[in-house]
Each structure stands twice: as C-alpha cells, then as structure tokens.
Chains A and B, each alone.
Chain A
Amino acid sequence: MKLEGGQISPGQIIFLVISFCLGPILLKSVALEAGHANWLAILLGLAGGLLIALLFTSLSIRFPGRTLVEFNEIIYGPLLGKVISLTYLFYFFLLPTLTLRLFGDYLTGLIFPQTPMVVIISLIVLVSASAVRNGIEVIARCSQVLLPITIILLFLAAIFSIPHMKFNRFFPIFEVPVAEFLRVSLFTSTFPFGQSIAFLMILAFIGIDSKKVKMARVSVMIGLIGVGLILNLLVLRNRGLLGATQFIEVYTSHQALGLIDVGGVLTRLEIVVTINFLSMGFIAISLLYYNTALGMAQILKLRTYLPLVLPIGILMICTSITQFENVFEYQHFSGDITPLFALPLQIGIPILSLIICKIRDLPKKE
C-alpha cells in the first residue's frame, strides 16, 4: 500500500533540485578556502556532483517507483537494509537542523537581535510541517512558485551590483596549493551538489513509466547544472562587491548586497538575501523533513506518515538548538566534518548497492 499518493513530473524535479541545493548556501560564498579560485572549485565540484547524480539515479532507474528505504531492503535484506536506511535518515535529519541553525543564527544575529532563536526556528518548522503534511506535490508546487522569484531577485541584484564591482578584485585567480584546491572541490561536490542524494526518496513519485524515470535523471542533471551556474553568479557577485573583505564576513551575500546603491533610491538590498534564503531554505528543509518522516514510516511499515511529522519536527527544533554551543562549532562541523560523513553515503553505499544489484541480478522480475 502506498503511503503517499502524490505524483510529480520530471519538470518539477528540476525546480526541486535547484531550490533544494540553493537553500542552505544562499547566505554565504561557497568554497572560500580556495581563495580567488572558488568559482573554479565550484565548477569542479559540479562535475563531481554530476557523477554522484549519475550514480544514484541509476539506482532509481533500477527500482522505479520505489524509495531508498524500500529498495535498500530488497538489496541488503530486511535487517541490514533497515540499518543502512536509518543511517541515511539520520543524515536527512541532520542536514535540515544545520540549515535551521543557520536560519536562527542569521536572523537573531542581524535582523531580530532580541527574539529568541527557538521562536524563529519553531515558526519555520511549523510552516515546513504544514507543507510536509500536504505531501510532495505541495512542496514541488511551492518550489515552482518560489524559485522563479528567487532567480529574478538574484539576477536583479547581480545587475545592480555591476556598477559597484571592480574588475581587479577577480585577480589573481589561482593562489592556493593544488591539493587544497582539490580538497575544497571534493567538499563542494558533496555539499551542496551531493546532498541531492536525498532525491532517492523523491524520484519514486515520478511513477514507474520507464521513459519518465529516465527523463528524471536528466532533470536532476539539469537541476545540478543550474545550481552550479547560480552559485557561480553568486560567488562572483560577492567577490566583485567585497574584494578581500569577503574572507572575514560571516554572511557574505548579506554584506555584499548591503553595499548596493542605485541612485540613492534602491539601497540596502540585503533584505533580498533574507527573502531568498527564507524561501529556498524553506524548500530545502521541507524536502528533507519529508524524507525523514516518510522514510521512518516506511521502515516501520506504517500506513501513514502523518503522525510522525510533528514529533520529528520537535526533535529537529531541539537538535538544531542544542547541538552547537556557538557559531564556531557550527562552522567547524558543517565545513570540515559533514563532507566526510556524507562521502560514504553519497558515493560508497550507492556504488556498493549497484555492485550487489549486478551480482544478484536485481530487481528480480515478478
């Protein structure tokens, strides 16, 4: 019996992938450890991300209409499959808590200094919970509405920032050691690109039509390329506006857009960053939240995932607030630890799964 009757189209997958990957990263410049070459690192990371996508979409093509949790049990057997699925669910649970924490720190730090963080985070979780209860179709439609707004705002901000840019700020391009550059690129391919592994839960709702499933793979790829392009626009804009000071900013995009001044009328565009971050972050959080709730229900073989939504939401609120004491712990964890934790989940296990599928000739025809 199906837990979720929703159906989404390959076109919606593009929207979902872009919003989902942009969600947690609109605030900051990505891959700043690569110095002035961070846009190159992003392109290399995109290539890595596409490989990861190629890997996991071959799993979804093998098992059309089945989610990660369902085919893990087919591949690894009921017990081991459940353990592996739980690891994934833990990852899916952890990622939105990081984004939520970023939300909380950003909004309490810069915009609402007096408001308790728990209130901000709870409100976002409440909205997300409502989206999750309504199912994947609603999340997909939200992204169809919110993503165009975000992209228009991003482009406008980029156009308005051109007069404030200095060409000299982009050079010299390559100053970091190659090993460090490769490390940063690898980390970029796990985050934000590689986190699209979460779509193994979503691609099941494309249906079992093999043509559509193959199209979904292309959709994921297109989405990731879109993310890479938008991300490059973002980091180049920030670099052109801020120059060397971008290395000391906490919220790079926020500071960069604060400098924009169009004829003394249109000033302080940082609110654009807040709007974009809120809307895209909402999609990213909802999607992973949905994954966690749905996956948990599938592991426990429940008939509906709805009763799990609110308890998981409360756990997410608690975790996001209590897991880090300060900003540095957060930065250290999300920057240095998460990619290492994500690598086996994004590359190791999918490869293993594919090998086992080949050997055991799965899925067996019924």
Chain B
Amino acid sequence: MKIFFLLAIFSGIVIFEAPGLIYRKYWKELIVFFLFLGFAFTISLLAVLGVPLPSPAKGIETVVNFIIKLITGK
C-alpha cells in the first residue's frame, strides 16, 4: 500500500516535470532530473521498507568529534 502510494507520488512528479523538459529539448536537465529522482526514490523506498538509512547528522558528528580529538589531542 505504502509502496503503491510512493509510486503514485513519483509518477506524479515525472508527469509534472518531464513533458516540459522534453518539449524544450533540455536533455541534460532531464538526465539530471531522473538521476536525482531515482536517488530520492531509492532513499524513500528504503525508508518506507524500514531499512535503517545512514544519517548525515551522525556522519557529521563523527567527523567533528574526530577533528576535536585531533586538535585537543585527547
């Protein structure tokens, strides 16, 4: 059900964006659009399926803590 809903949303976005790009022959933009949309779809599909996603916040936290360690030497 959720996946169906997700598919509906994403096909809605494609129908909304793609025709204009094709009409204006913006092929590069179209490719980038599909790349981004594909990425977003993968992420949201994983989120819907309950797969734990890597959190950018935690990544930053690790980096910041690492740098603090380097500076303070603790």
Q: Which residues of A are in contact with B by a Cβ distance under 8 Å?
A: 90, 94, 300, 302-304, 306-308, 310-312, 314-315, 317-319, 321-324, 329, 333, 337-338, 340-341
Tell me the smallest distance from the CB of B42 to a CB of chain A, in Å: 10
Q: A343's closest neighbor in chain B, by CB? A: B64
Query: In residues 4-46 of chain B, which contact A (Cβ within 8 Å)?
Result: 13, 16-17, 21, 26, 28-30, 32-33, 36-37, 39-41, 43-44
- Which single member of A302, A306, A308, A324 contacts B55 (CB below 8 Å)? A324
Whether B47 is near chain A, meaning CB under 8 Å from some CB there, is: yes
Tell me the smallest distance from the CB of A182 to a CB of chain B, in Å: 17
Q: Find chain B residues with CB under 8 A from A302 CB.
A: 26, 28-29, 32
Q: B64's closest neighbor in chain A, by CB? A: A340
Contact between chains at A310 and B29 (CB < 8 Å): no
Known: A303-B29, A307-B33. A337 touches B43 (CB 8 A): no
Q: Which residues of B are in contact with A by a Cβ distance under 8 Å?
A: 13, 16-17, 21, 26, 28-30, 32-33, 36-37, 39-41, 43-44, 47, 52-53, 55-58, 60-61, 63-64, 67-68
| 6 additional contacts (CB under 8 A) given A310-B37, A322-B53, A337-B60 | A304-B29, A310-B17, A315-B36, A317-B44, A322-B52, A324-B57
Between A308, A311, A317, the greatest number of chain B beta carbons within 10 A of the residue's beta carbon is seen for: A311
Q: Find chain A residues with CB under 8 A from B57 CB.
A: 94, 323-324, 329, 333, 337
Contact between chains at B32 and A307 (CB < 8 Å): yes
Q: Find chain A residues with CB under 8 A from B64 CB.
A: 337, 340-341
Contact between chains at B26 and A318 (CB < 8 Å): no
Contact between chains at A318 and B32 (CB < 8 Å): no
Q: B45's closest neighbor in chain A, by CB? A: A318
Give the 10 A-B CB pairs with smallest separation, nearest first.
A307-B33, A311-B36, A323-B55, A314-B40, A311-B40, A323-B57, A311-B37, A322-B53, A318-B43, A340-B64
* Interface SS, B side: helix
Contact between chains at A307 and B21 (CB < 8 Å): yes
Q: Find chain B residues with CB under 8 A from A315 CB.
A: 36, 39-40, 43
Q: Find chain B residues with CB under 8 A from A338 CB.
A: 60
CA distance A310 to B20 in the complex (A): 15
Q: Find chain B residues with CB under 8 A from A303 CB.
A: 26, 28-29
Tell me the smallest distance from the CB of A293 to a CB of chain B, in Å: 10
Q: A101's closest neighbor in chain B, by CB? A: B57
Tell me the smallest distance from the CB of B18 to a CB of chain A, in Å: 8
Q: Find chain B residues with CB under 8 A from A318 CB.
A: 40, 43-44, 47, 53
Q: A93's closest neighbor in chain B, by CB? A: B56
Known: A318-B43, A341-B64. A304 touches B26 (CB 8 A): yes
Contact between chains at B29 and A322 (CB < 8 Å): no
Tell me the smallest distance from the CB of B3 to a CB of chain A, in Å: 14
Q: B52's closest neighbor in chain A, by CB? A: A322
CA distance A319 to B39 in the complex (A): 12
Tell me the smallest distance from the CB of A318 to a CB of chain B, in Å: 5
Tell me the smallest distance from the CB of A347 to a CB of chain B, in Å: 15
CA distance A333 to B64 in the complex (A): 11
Contact between chains at A312 and B36 (CB < 8 Å): yes
Q: Find chain A residues with CB under 8 A from B28 CB.
A: 302-303
CA distance A350 to B52 in the complex (A): 36
Q: B10's closest neighbor in chain A, by CB? A: A314
CA distance A300 to B61 in the complex (A): 28
CA distance A160 to B11 in the complex (A): 50
